[in-house]
């Protein structure tokens, strides 16, 4: 489970994995970077930008029970983590059309060949947890993709839309539980 930095950690994990995968795309060098696309993308070298464009709550994970810890640690009850869906726009920039298509193809391979990232593949607040990130190519129509580009006030570019689920964001709502050590009914202690 992740703390408040979990969204940034997921973005960093994606960028690091894409950088490693793009190392053999020619002509190089080719890289990946986190970018909010608010400014023009510097194309001094070919790159894939990773843009987190939407965060939503996973509706299938609502109404989960509280998480309880039991002795020997101090017993607590915590509100279940908020399950998030992160939606990313992955776009090639710079280089020629062939290089851009190779970058898109490599990104598709990375997310298809290893669609679930878990265990040692996770870093930051997700390191050492039982969490797993599931990557799905999001089927958007051309109109839906155009609206995303329109919203960020950029002309449409060929890009991939990926959804990452489930990213668990820990709750700060923790209550201490007190163990029942004895009971009394009608003034008579029970064994």
Domains in the chain: boundaries: 6-65+76-172
Beta strands at 132-137 and 160-169: parallel, antiparallel or unpaired: antiparallel
Question: Positive or negative, the Cα torsion across 44, 45, 47, 50?
Answer: negative
- DSSP 8-state assignment for residue 28: S
Q: What is the pLDDT of residue 95?
A: 82
CB 126 within 8 A of CB 2: yes
What is the spatial distance between Cα 34 and Cα 11, in angstroms, rounded to a whole number?
7
Q: What is the pLDDT of residue 159?
A: 94
CB 6 within 8 A of CB 125: yes
Q: What is the pLDDT of residue 176?
A: 66
Mean pLDDT, residues 162-168: 87
Q: What is the pLDDT of residue 175?
A: 60
Q: What is the pLDDT of residue 24?
A: 86
User: Domain 6-65+76-172 is classified in which CATH homologous superfamily?
Assistant: Phage tail protein-like (3.30.2000.10)
Task: Please classify residue 63 by burial: count the beta carbons closer than 10 Å to its beta carbon, then call 0-12 exposed, 13-18 middle and 19+ buried.
Answer: exposed
Mean pLDDT, residues 19-25: 91
What element of type H or E holds 154? none
What is the spatial distance between Cα 173 and Cα 79, in angstroms, rounded to a whole number?
6
Share of residues in the chain with pLDDT > 70 (%): 84
Does the pLDDT of residue 154 top 80, yes or no? yes
This prediction has a pTM of: 0.81
More confident residue, 89 or 66: 89
Comparing CA positions, the residue from 105, 88, 113 lying closest to residue 14 is 88
């Amino acid at each position: 489970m992740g703390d408040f930095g979990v969204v940034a950690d997921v973005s960093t994990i994606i960028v690091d994995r894409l950088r490693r995968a793009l190392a053999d795309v020619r002509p190089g060098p080719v890289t990946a970077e986190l970018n909010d696309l608010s400014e023009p993308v510097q194309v001094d070298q070919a790159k894939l930008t990773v843009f987190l464009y939407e965060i939503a709550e996973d509706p299938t994970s609502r109404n989960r029970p509280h998480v309880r810890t039991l002795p020997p640690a101090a017993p607590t009850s915590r509100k279940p983590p908020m399950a998030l869906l992160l939606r990313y726009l992955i776009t090639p920039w710079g280089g020629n059309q062939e290089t851009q298509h190779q970058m898109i193809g490599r990104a598709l391979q990375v997310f298809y060949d290893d669609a679930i990232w878990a265990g040692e593949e996770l870093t930051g607040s997700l390191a050492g947890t039982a969490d797993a990130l599931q990557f799905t190519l999001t089927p958007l129509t051309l109109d839906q993709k155009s609206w995303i580009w329109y919203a960020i006030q950029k002309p449409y570019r060929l890009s991939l839309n990926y959804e990452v689920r489930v990213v668990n964001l820990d709750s700060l709502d923790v209550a201490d539980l007190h163990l029942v050590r004895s009971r009394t009914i009608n003034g008579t202690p029970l064994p």
